């Protein structure tokens, strides 16, 4: 592996290892030239062997497994369909002690272009921002109407309007996170009830020390179905029209409408998910589960 490898991390428990495999497949099928050092934070289990075997055909990538310290988030607050694995991203500074930066991606992300340009920006960057991320659609009034007033008040109260980022795709400045000893704070406050647990923690503790990424690094599935959100993005200056129309690098299936469990007319993200799922050794299991699912969005 060349020293200029792009360092990328995923975190998952036994419920999401197949989705992580599909996400990695999408990246390595899309970019066969760049070298990737992929860090997988997950408990030990048979999935490690399956992923190693499946990914062995990609000579431009190495996989390294890291076991999360699960007890640190045993009492952490979760809600909706989220698992405690969402907090493991907060451990990357400790687990990847030799790295100054890492790109973190959720398992519900599909890649549509190389991460090389982003990583080139990362390695020449001199700033002390703690995280880099894309502004979240929660910043948009037309999106907020779907949430309880409480969430909006919570964001307003914490002065996060128009600067709240989505935590599904991040560049993390691990050196600065270690230097500022943020892990202790993150761990100790994770048991407090929050609307978007790990995402709120990151936004509140990194506030004003966040570098905003272009929209193409976190294109959420609601953009394809809700034109009000796009109108708000432009109206409130979150993104320019050109940014919104740029070729997506990262597509993110936010909310409960996941490509592997939602019966609906296909969007680009669903197409990409099944296109790459088909190249994995567990496609049959994914597709059987999909046929059994009965979730149809309104």
Between residue 42 and residue 61, which ones bind Mn ion under the rule CB under 5 A?
Answer: none
User: Do residues 142 and 229 touch, judged by C-beta distance below 8 A?
Assistant: yes
CB 181, min distance to Mn ion, A: 27
Tell which one of 108, 200, 222, 232 touches Mn ion (CB under 5 A).
108
| Nearest-approach distance from CB 80 to Mn ion, in angstroms | 12
Q: Which stretch binds Mn ion (CB under 5 A): 25-33, 163-171, 217-225, 267-275?
A: 163-171
Binding residue count for Mn ion, defined by CB under 5 A: 3
Q: How far is the CB of 97 from Mn ion (least distance, A)?
A: 26
- Of the candidate spans 39-47, 106-114, 220-228, 286-294, the one that interacts with Mn ion by CB under 5 A turns out to be 106-114
Tell the smallest beta-carbon distance from residue 124 to Mn ion (Å). Answer: 28
Q: Which among 105-113, 115-123, 181-189, 193-201 is the span making contact with Mn ion, rule CB under 5 A?
A: 105-113
Q: Minimum distance from CB of 258 to Mn ion (Å)? A: 9
Using alpha carbons only, what angle is made at residue 121 by residues 120 and 125, rounded to the nearest 5 degrees?
A: 120
Within 10 angstroms of residue 101's Cβ, the number of other Cβ atoms is: 17
Give the whole-angstrom CA distance, residue 132 versus residue 43.
27
Question: Residue 272 Cβ, how far from Mn ion at the closest point, in Å?
Answer: 15
Footprint (CB under 5 A) of Mn ion, residues 166-185: 168
Cβ distance to Mn ion smaller for residue 13 or 108: 108
Specify the residue, 168 or 248, whose C-beta has the smaller distance to Mn ion. 168
Member of 72, 106, 200, 270 binding Mn ion (CB under 5 A): 106
Question: Which range binds Mn ion by CB under 5 A, 11-19, 142-150, 164-172, 220-228?
Answer: 164-172
Name the minimum Å distance from CB 99 to Mn ion.
Answer: 22
Tell me which DSSP letter residue 224 carries.
Answer: H
Looking at beta carbons only, is 130 or 254 nearer to Mn ion? 254
DSSP string, the chain: --TTPEEEEEE--TTTHHHHHHHHHHHHHH-SSS-EEEEEE--SSHHHHHHHHHHTT-TTEEEEEE---GGGGTT----TT--GGGGGGGGHHHHTTT-SEEEEE-TTEEE-S-SHHHHHHHHH-----SEEEEEPGGGSHHHHTTS-HHHHHHHHHTT-TTT-EEEEEEEEEHHHHHHTTHHHHHHHHTTS--SSHHHHHHHHHHTT-EEEPPGGGSEETHHHH-HHHHHHHHHTTSS-HHHHHSPPSEEE--TT--TTT--SS--HHHHHHHHHHTTSTTHHHHHHHHHH------
* 270 touches Mn ion by CB under 5 A: no
CB of 286 to Mn ion, least distance (A): 17
| Residues at the contact surface with Mn ion, assessed by CB under 5 A | 106, 108, 168
């Amino acid at each position: 592996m060349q020293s200029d490898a792009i360092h990328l991390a995923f975190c998952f428990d036994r419920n999401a290892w197949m989705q992580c495999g599909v996400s990695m497949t999408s990246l390595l099928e899309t970019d066969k030239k760049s070298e990737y050092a992929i860090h997988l934070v997950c408990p030990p289990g048979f999935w490690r062997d399956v992923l190693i075997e499946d990914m062995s055909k990609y000579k431009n990538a190495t996989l390294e497994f890291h076991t999360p310290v699960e007890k640190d988030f045993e009492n952490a607050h979760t809600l909706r369909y989220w698992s405690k694995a969402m907090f493991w991203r907060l451990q990357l500074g400790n687990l990847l002690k030799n790295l100054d930066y890492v790109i973190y991606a959720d398992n519900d992300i599909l890649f549509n272009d190389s991460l090389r340009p982003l990583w080139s920006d990362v390695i020449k960057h001199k700033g002390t921002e703690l995280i880099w991320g894309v502004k979240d659609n929660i910043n948009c009034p037309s999106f907020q109407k779907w949430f309880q007033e409480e969430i909006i008040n919570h964001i307003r109260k914490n002065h996060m309007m128009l600067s709240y980022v989505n935590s599904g795709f991040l560049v993390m400045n691990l050196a600065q996170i270690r230097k500022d000893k943020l892990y202790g704070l993150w761990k100790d406050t994770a048991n407090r009830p929050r609307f978007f647990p790990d995402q709120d923690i990151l936004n509140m503790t990194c506030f004003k020390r966040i570098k905003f990424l272009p929209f193409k690094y976190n294109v959420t599935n609601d953009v394809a179905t809700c034109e009000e959100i796009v109108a708000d993005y432009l109206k409130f200056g979150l993104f320019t029209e050109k940014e919104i129309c740029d070729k997506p690098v990262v597509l993110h299936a936010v909310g409960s409408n996941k490509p592997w469990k939602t019966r609906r007319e296909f969007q680009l993200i669903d197409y990409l998910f099944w296109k790459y799922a088909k190249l994995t050794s567990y496609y049959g299991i994914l597709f059987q589960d999909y046929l059994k699912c009965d979730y149809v969005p309104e």
